[in-house]
């Protein structure tokens, strides 16, 4: 079951959410220093992280699961957001260079099928980064953040999933080495634990990041199937009026 889009937005607008974003972004940039003229897809709730990469990418998209809901992204310019089913992405084969999964894998109804669909839309040699709650970390045990919902993973479980979906796992990293307190005063003190945790206690990070590359030399079995999803049209051709400016 997906977490609601309202809860995700509220978390990332909070002091704890901003610290979490900075910590995860630092680890992401270590795995992906630059994305020179590449097509980037964020699947799940990726806007806080896509904002850091879109200036380097040729283009970037924010795909958000139907069970979660969607917000407009980016806040300036034309919208690059789509509401999707994660097992049936509305993209041609081999059309994306990089995929970022965040707040995604832990909520997937069928993680293996979702990763196979990501494999389909990735170009040859394309790369994926999975950001998932660490089952050994404190963040996965507390429910007041999005990382305490869904299904946490160990590093070994992620590697197994990626290999089963025909990816070759590569570099990995961790983030969120400080406890998820809500008090600003305590957060200021504990945020200094992040560099220490990266060096001394990597196994207890709040989230695990794994990069993997699309593997081509082994075929995936493909089964014909009818979509299990039913779209309900919303009859508002001019959009739904709102009193607030879209983010």
Average pLDDT, the chain: 85
Q: Confirm whether 246 is domain-assigned.
A: no
Q: Give the chain's domain count.
A: 1
Which range (45-59, 116-130, 169-183, 184-198) has the least confidence?
Answer: 184-198
Buried b (16+ CB within 10 A) or exposed e, 201-217: eeeebbbbbbbbbbbee
Q: Confirm whether 227 is domain-assigned.
A: no
Per-residue confidence at 106, pLDDT binned at 50, 70, 90? very high
Q: Confirm whether 239 is domain-assigned.
A: no
Q: Confirm whether 24 is domain-assigned.
A: yes
Residue 185 near residue 117 (C-beta atoms within 8 A): no
Q: Confirm whether 173 is domain-assigned.
A: yes
Q: Confirm whether 233 is domain-assigned.
A: no
C-alpha radius of gyration, the chain, whole number = 18
Which range (18-32, 74-88, 132-146, 225-239) has the least confidence?
Answer: 225-239
Q: Confirm whether 35 is domain-assigned.
A: yes
Q: Confirm whether 90 is domain-assigned.
A: yes
Q: Is the model more confident about 100 or about 177?
A: 100
CATH label of the domain that carries residue 184: 3.40.50.150
Cis amide linkage into residue 74, ω under 30° from 0: yes
Range of the domain at 45: 5-214
pLDDT at 237: 43
* d(C-alpha 7, C-alpha 3), whole Å: 7
Pairing of strands 122-133, 96-102: parallel
Q: Is the model more confident about 154 or about 182?
A: 154
Residue 12: pLDDT over 80: yes
pLDDT at 197: 65
Residue 231: pLDDT over 60: no
């Amino acid at each position: 079951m997906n977490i609601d889009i309202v809860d995700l937005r509220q978390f990332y607008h909070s002091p704890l959410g901003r610290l979490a974003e900075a910590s995860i972004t630092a680890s992401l940039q270590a795995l992906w220093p630059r994305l020179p003229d590449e097509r980037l897809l964020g699947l799940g709730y990726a806007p806080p992280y896509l904002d850091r990469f879109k200036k380097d990418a040729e283009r970037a998209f924010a795909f958000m699961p139907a069970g979660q809901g969607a917000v407009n992204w980016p806040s300036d310019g034309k919208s690059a957001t789509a509401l999707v089913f994660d097992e049936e992405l509305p993209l041609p084969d081999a059309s994306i260079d990089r995929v970022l999964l965040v707040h995604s894998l832990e909520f997937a109804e069928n993680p293996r099928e979702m990763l196979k669909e990501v494999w389909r839309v990735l170009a040859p040699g394309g790369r994926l980064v999975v950001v998932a709650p660490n089952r050994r970390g404190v963040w996965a045990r507390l429910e007041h953040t999005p990382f305490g919902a869904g299904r946490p993973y160990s590093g070994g479980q992620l590697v197994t999933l990626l290999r089963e979906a025909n990816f070759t796992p590569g570099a990995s990293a961790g983030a969120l080495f400080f406890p998820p307190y809500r008090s600003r005063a305590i957060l200021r003190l504990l945020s200094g634990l992040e560099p220490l945790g990266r060096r001394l206690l990597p196994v207890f990070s709040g989230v695990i990041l794994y990069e993997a590359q699309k593997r081509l030399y082994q075929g995936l079995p493909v089964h014909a199937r009818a979509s299990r999803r039913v779209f309900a049209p919303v009859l508002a051709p001019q959009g739904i009026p709102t009193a607030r400016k879209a983010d």
